[in-house]
Structure formats: C-alpha cells, structure tokens
Amino acid sequence: MSATIASEYLNTIALGYVDNVDSEYAKRLAKKWHFNYLGDVAAANKQPQLEFILQVHHHALELCKLDEPKLGAIKVDFVAGAVAHRRKFGGGRGQDIAKAVGLKHGFTPHVLDATAGLGRDAFVLAGLGCQLTLMERMPVVAALLEDGIERAKLNHEVADIANNMQLIHGSSIEQMDLASAPDVVYLDPMFPHREKSAAVKKEMRIFQCLVGEDLDADGLLEPALALAKYRVVVKRPSYAPPLAGKKPSMSIKMKKNRFDVYVNQAIPKLTT
C-alpha cells in the first residue's frame, strides 16, 4: 500500500471506546496501530469524514461501518459462535483444509498463513496442532486479529490453540521471508464475488469497502513457492482461475471453493 493510499484510508477511520472503562486500552491500541483516537465513539457524529469506527466494547475490539449500522460489528472471536462449532465438530484431520496442508503420516507442519484476514482457517490449523505464523498487511484487520488472539489466550478452552499462533503485521508480497522457514504457505486472497453485494457475508462486504480486492494477489505465488519447504496451498472460489494462471499439482474441490496445492517436495512419512 502506497503512503498516499494509506493516508487516505486512515483518514476515514478512527478508534474509540463505547464505555469509559475501556478508554486506556483504546488509547494504547490507537497509539500502537497509528489510528486517530476518537475517545467516546459518540464523537463520530461530529466527524463526517469518518466511514468506519474501531471501537473497544466489553474489552474487545470491533469494526463498524458507519453508514450501514444494521450490518453490526465485526470482531475476532475464537471462543464462541461458528469458530467454536467448527473446532468441536469440524472433522479434525479429516477436514479438506487439513488434507490440503498435508496433515498425514503423523506430520504436523509449521504453516505461514500469508493472507490471515480474521484468522479462521489459521485457528482451525492451530487447533490441529500446527504452529501458525499469520501475516496481515492491513492495519485494521491486523489489529482485530491481534485483539482476538490475545483474548483467546485468556480463555482456558482455547488458550493452547491461541498460543500456537504468532502474528506478523506486514506485506506478504514484500516481506514474506519474515516468517522463518515454514513447511507450508497458505494463501486465501480476496476474490471478486459473483453474488450481488447484499448476498455477500457482512465481513467480506465491509472489508471490500475498506481495503478493496487483492488486485496484486497473483504476486503472492512466486515468493510463497520460494519460501515453502513442502507446499503452497491456495484457497480459491470454485469459479476462479488458478492464482497467477499457474496450474497446481493437485486440487481438492469442495461445494463453493477448492484448494489448489503446489508441491515443492513430498511430505515426509514419519516413523514412530
């Protein structure tokens, strides 16, 4: 992201608190991530240039789109909701994502999720025992993700999983090698949706408004292939072409998506 674009993007967003009890945490987050500090979020009414609010609410960081309040707030929650259901009933190592990254023969890889987003796929893999390095370039998304990871570390049910996750704020295209020797690189870049906007999940709608599409996503594949020891896994919509037009070694197809797998070398068969 260029400095000009970054400046324009940051001018449309501010960080504040809903309840004064969270004011100090909100100040620390604003300083760390270089967001404009709003104080009480009610003050947003006096700043018409703002399109988004990051708010600390009940000790959790949330993102709101000001002109679509019915969408509600987005936060990273690894403890409850859909993420909890998937952790308990998702199918363990039998899941397609587990097969794609090579969870077999007793092998549990170190995975770099180079397009971490809200961290849901990374959390699944961390829950299966993988060490996860998560890389996210957008400050808003990285701030939400870090807040979710840190809260998860305080919960006895998922603390062990959260401790398998390390976040790096940086551009995967330019700084992927900041991750030390991953066995597998996982990519899930945003792709234009065929559905009308109302049908797209609220998170995707808000993020597309906030940061746009990953128009440079093709540039991820080459550094990923250079860095991954064993394989690169790319999650794609079923209708999308392969990333960078490069045919994968194999694909695992699902109802709406698929995993394209690019093999650098075979997964080792570990002897017990």
Please give the backbone phi and psi of residue 64, each rounded to the nearest 5 degrees, phi first. Answer: -125, 140
Nearest to 151 by CA among 121, 180, 119: 119
CB atoms within 10 A of CB 196: 7
Beta strands in 58-109 (DSSP E): 60-65
Residues with Cβ within 8 Å of residue 24, at least 6 apart in sequence: none
Is 188 part of any known ligand binding site? yes
How many other C-beta atoms are found inside a 10 Å radius of the C-beta of residue 271? 6
Distance CA 152, CA 172 (A): 25
121 is in an annotated binding site: yes
Are 63 and 73 in contact by the 8 Å Cβ rule? The answer is yes
Contact 140, 63 (CB under 8 A): yes
172 is in an annotated binding site: yes
Residue 180 annotated in ligand binding:
no
CA distance 75 to 56: 10
Q: Which residues neighbour 173 within 8 Å (Cβ) at sequence distance 6 or greater?
A: 216, 219, 220, 223
The owner of tokens 């403890």 is 79
d(CA 106, CA 48): 55
> Which residue ranges are tagged as binding site?
120-121, 136-137, 171-172, 188
> Which residue ranges are tagged as binding site for S-adenosyl-L-methionine?
120-121, 136-137, 171-172, 188
